[in-house]
Amino acid sequence: MPRAAAFLAVVLLAALLVVLASQAAAPAEQPFRVGSQIEDPAGVLGGDEQAVATAIKALQTAGQVQLWVVYVDTFSGMDAQDWADATARKSDLGLNDVLLAVAVKDRAYAY
């Protein structure tokens, strides 16, 4: 399982770097129930959705972990971890699920 954890760290870092390199803006988001593994109301991925989807699939195959990625403009004044936890609860994520939440304007993230 350490190999899966290392792979997860690489995928999370790559997803975060995509966001931090972007300058897109969107309205603040309250925690919400995710409908797909990639949620991008901030519009930061542009044409990179397929690369993120490929990395998510590879992580699931290698580590039996299902990654959910959410990019928002801000965490609406909430602590990053509190926002991610609330979104994970609203989404009924399980023990093998990981949520990466990134607030672009806040330059903050949590998983």
Q: What CATH number is attached to the domain comprising 10?
A: 3.10.310.50
Q: Which residues pair with 97 in a beta bridge?
A: 66
Report the alpha-carbon distance of residue 32 to residue 91 in Å, rounded: 7
- Residue 22 domain boundaries: 2-110
What does each of the 111 residues of the chain score in pLDDT, given as a tens digit?
Answer: 566 666 655 565 566 555 555 444 445 589 999 999 999 999 999 889 999 999 999 999 998 899 999 999 999 899 999 999 999 999 999 999 999 999 999 999 999
> How many domains is the chain built from?
1
Q: Name which of 16, 18, 12 is nearest 55 in CA terms.
A: 12
By the 8 A CB rule, do 52 and 69 touch?
Answer: yes
Phi, psi (deg, nearest 5) at residue 90: -60, -25
Cβ atoms 49, 38 nearer than 8 A: yes
